[in-house]
Amino acid sequence: WQERQSDPGRWHATAIREMSHTLARLNAPEHTCRRRALGNLFDRATLQDMRPDVEDHVRGLLDALAERLRADGEADLVPTVSERLPVRTVGHWLGIPAEHHAHILDFTHRQVHAQELLPTKSELAVSAAATAEMRAYFTDLIRRRRARPGDDVVSRWIRHWDAQYPGDRAAADRALYHLVMFITIASLETTATLLSTMVWLLLRDPGRWSWLRGHPEHVDNAIDEALRYDPPIHLNTRVAADHTVLAGVPVAKDTMVHVLYGAANHDPRRNEDPHTFDVQRKGSHLTFGGGAHYCLGAALARLEARTLLTHLLKRFPDLALASGPAYAPRMVFRRMTSLKVTT
């Protein structure tokens, strides 16, 4: 579909084409084959193994937060905690050295323009430069892992894709690059925004924070209510492969359809009184998508959110908002850039 479009500036831009090879943009049978090869990435046993590391990362980050609060009387939760936990968690799992995390965050924030609804020419240029850095980084990561394979997840993927493409190292490397790159970037801003949003929504009403401290059995509900109320991704786009009818609406072949997750989550037919943030709601949401492309990292994002919130509530009973939030000017991928807190 992209190749048939007449606007070369948009659909043929380097950064956009790069994303068209990732899991999220593939169709069956290629998508089925790649997704099946990954299996259930974050099954119960894997999450159990990751839990102590996530706890360690949270403790370390909350030490840094406490230090900032002691020194300055207030601290910005976003750069101190929310943006660091996802990159540490995924970085540790993939065996990415801590000194590379800042570089990865930097190109991720610039690359994301290509995934916005209507990127401008200058945003596409920023995204193209970030894409080149991203490609160089992950290509090198795979090359280094090939030189020193181990029992880590990337080495296991290398063995799998080498076996799928015997004698064609370049094809295996292409599949590996798109996989490692996409899983990394898909996990960062999304989870960081969830962590910041959840704290913001709970602190907006001071009574809510202390109520949840007394009712820790509702922590999971509170996280899903934050996911419903203000999802990190607001919009997803599909193109109709055939003439079809969706919920009574005719959709012609090749029509672009935008799914508005935020609006769907606030549909009163699915969630009563939808604009009220209610930590006891047990509502439903589309924040992780649905169907064949359902988010592969949902369980990991929830683990990070649960660990952070549990520790924050225990360690900072008097946490309060100081200022913010502030957001990057985006439409599809929401990114909170600042949320100042105090005690």
Q: 119 or 232: whose CB is closer to ligand HEM?
A: 232
Distances, alpha carbon 117 to alpha carbons 194, 233, 237, in Å: 21, 12, 9
Residue nearest to ligand HEM (CB): 297
What string marks each residue from 16 to 55 as x (binds ligand HEM by CB under 6 A) or -?
-------xx----------x--------------------
When computed from its CA atoms, the radius of gyration of the chain, rounded to whole angstroms, is: 21
Q: 47 or 125: whose CB is closer to ligand HEM?
A: 47
**CA pair distance 52, 32, nearest whole angstrom:** 32
Interacting residue with ligand HEM among 20, 221, 236, 337 (CB under 6 A): 236
Q: Please, how many CA atoms are within 13 Å of residue 138, restricted to the half-sphere of its CB?
A: 24
Greatest alpha-carbon span in the chain: 63
Q: 69 or 112: whose CB is closer to ligand HEM?
A: 112
Where helices occur in the chain by DSSP H, the ranges are 8-11, 14-19, 30-38, 44-72, 77, 84-94, 101-111, 121-147, 153-164, 169-203, 206-214, 219-229, 261-265, 298-315
**CA pair distance 36, 31, nearest whole angstrom:** 8
Q: How far is the CB of 183 from ligand HEM (least distance, A)?
A: 5
Judged by CB under 6 A, the number of residues near ligand HEM is: 27
Q: How far is the CB of 41 from ligand HEM (least distance, A)?
A: 7
Q: 24 or 129: whose CB is closer to ligand HEM?
A: 24
**CA pair distance 223, 303, nearest whole angstrom:** 10
Q: What sign for the dihedral angle of Cα 166, 167, 170, 171?
A: negative
Contacts to ligand HEM from residues 71-110, by CB under 6 A: 90
| Residue 112 neighbours by CB under 8 Å, 6+ apart | 127, 185, 189, 330, 333, 335
Interacting residue with ligand HEM among 191, 265, 271, 307 (CB under 6 A): 191
Q: 13 or 194: whose CB is closer to ligand HEM?
A: 194
Q: How far is the CB of 261 from ligand HEM (least distance, A)?
A: 7
Q: How far is the CB of 236 from ligand HEM (least distance, A)?
A: 5
Q: 279 or 301: whose CB is closer to ligand HEM?
A: 301
Contacts to ligand HEM from residues 286-305, by CB under 6 A: 287-291, 293-297, 300-301
Q: How far is the CB of 287 from ligand HEM (least distance, A)?
A: 5
Contacts to ligand HEM from residues 170-189, by CB under 6 A: 182-183, 186-187
Burial of 89 (0-12, 13-18, 19+ CB in 10 A): buried
Enter the DSSP assignment of 290.
-
Question: What backbone phi and psi angles, to 5 degrees, belong to 66?
Answer: -60, -40
Q: Which residues bind ligand HEM (CB under 6 A)?
A: 23-24, 35, 90, 182-183, 186-187, 190-191, 194, 231-233, 236, 287-291, 293-297, 300-301
